[in-house]
Chain A
Amino acid sequence: GENVEQHPSTLSVQEGDSAVIKCTYSDSASNYFPWYKQELGKGPQLIIDIRSNVGEKKDQRIAVTLNKTAKHFSLHITETQPEDSAVYFCALRRIDSWGKLQFGAGTQVVVTP
C-alpha cells in the first residue's frame, strides 16, 4: 500500500509560536490529503484538507500546503495555543481507492504556556 511518512513524531512549541508538520508520499495517484487532530479519549477530527488541484488552503490559524512535484504536504499552525496540544495525523487517498485513507504515524504536539 501507499507509504506516508510523517515528521516529526513529537513537536514541542511555545505558545504563540508556529508549528509545522510534514508528510511525504510516493504514489502519484494520491489526490486527496486530509489532516486530523486527535485529542485524548476522542476520535480523530478533520481539521483541514486539500485536493491535488490546489497548492494551498487556509482556515484561520491552520493552513495546508501541497507540493505535488516533490510529493509532500505540510500542516502549518500559527499563533499556537495550549488547546492545540494533541496528536495530528496526515492521511491521503488514492484516486481509485473507493474512499480508503492511508494514515501517517502521527505527531504529538505539545504547546507550552
Chain B
Amino acid sequence: SAVISQKPSRDICQRGTSLTIQCQVDSQVTMMFWYRQQPGQSLTLIATANQGSEATYESGFVIDKFPISRPNLTFSTLTVSNMSPEDSSIYLCSVSGTENQPQHFGDGTRLSIL
C-alpha cells in the first residue's frame, strides 16, 4: 500500500491562530480524504480533497474553517483556521487508488490548542 506522510506529527498552538497540515503520498492516488478524531472518539470525515477543484465538505464542516488544497495527485493540505480549544484533535489524511479500492491512513497530526 501507499506510504503516507503527514507533517507536522504534533503541534501546540495558541487560540486564534491557524495551522496547515501537509499530507504527502509516495504514489499517485485518485482519492484523498481528511478526517478528525477527537480525544477517545471515532473518526469523522471532514472533506474529500479533489484534485484541481474545490474540496467536498461533509455536513458540519465549512471551507472557511478548514480550507483544503490538492494541487496534484500526491499532495494535499488541510488548514485549521482561527483555532479554539475545541479544535484539539487528531487530524488524519487517508488515500485510496480509486473510490472502490481500500483506504489507507497516515499517522495523523496531534493538535492541541491552548
**A residues adjacent to B (C-beta < 8 A):** 1, 32, 34, 36, 41-46, 49, 89, 97-106
Verify A99–B107 contact, CB threshold 8 A.
no
A43-B105 in contact given A99-B48, A100-B45 (Cβ < 8 Å): yes
Within the complex, the shortest CB–CB distance from B12 to chain A, in Å, comes to 16
Q: State the total of A-B contacts with C-beta under 8 angstroms.
A: 52
Interface size class of B (residues with CB under 8 A): 20 to 34
In the assembled complex, which residues on chain A have CB atoms less than 8 Å from the CB atom of B1? Answer: 46
Distance in angstroms between the alpha carbons of A104 and B48 in the assembled complex: 19
Within the complex, the shortest CB–CB distance from B103 to chain A, in Å, comes to 6
Distance in angstroms between the alpha carbons of A40 and B25 in the assembled complex: 22
Interface window among B69-77, B80-88, B92-100: B92-100
> What 0/1 pattern do residues 10 to 49 of B give for CB contact below 8 A with A?
0000000000000000000001010000000111110010
A104-B42 in contact given A43-B108, A99-B33 (Cβ < 8 Å): yes
In the assembled complex, which residues on chain B have CB atoms less than 8 Å from the CB atom of A34? Answer: 102-103
Within the complex, the shortest CB–CB distance from B40 to chain A, in Å, comes to 9
Distance in angstroms between the alpha carbons of A97 and B103 in the assembled complex: 13
Q: Which of B4, B48, B102 contacts A100 (CB 8 A)?
A: B48
Distance in angstroms between the alpha carbons of A101 and B105 in the assembled complex: 12
Verify A99–B43 contact, CB threshold 8 A.
no
Verify A89–B42 contact, CB threshold 8 A.
yes
Q: Which residue of B lies closest to A49 (CB)?
A: B102
A43-B102 in contact given A100-B45, A101-B45 (Cβ < 8 Å): no
Verify A103–B43 contact, CB threshold 8 A.
yes
Within the complex, the shortest CB–CB distance from B22 to chain A, in Å, comes to 15
Within the complex, the shortest CB–CB distance from A55 to chain B, in Å, comes to 19
Q: Which residue of B lies closest to A99 (CB)?
A: B99
Verify A105–B48 contact, CB threshold 8 A.
no
In the assembled complex, which residues on chain B have CB atoms less than 8 Å from the CB atom of A101? Answer: 43, 45, 103
Within the complex, the shortest CB–CB distance from A73 to chain B, in Å, comes to 16
Within the complex, the shortest CB–CB distance from B109 to chain A, in Å, comes to 10
Distance in angstroms between the alpha carbons of A100 and B46 in the assembled complex: 10
Q: Which of A1, A42, A49, A106 contacts B42 (CB 8 A)?
A: A106
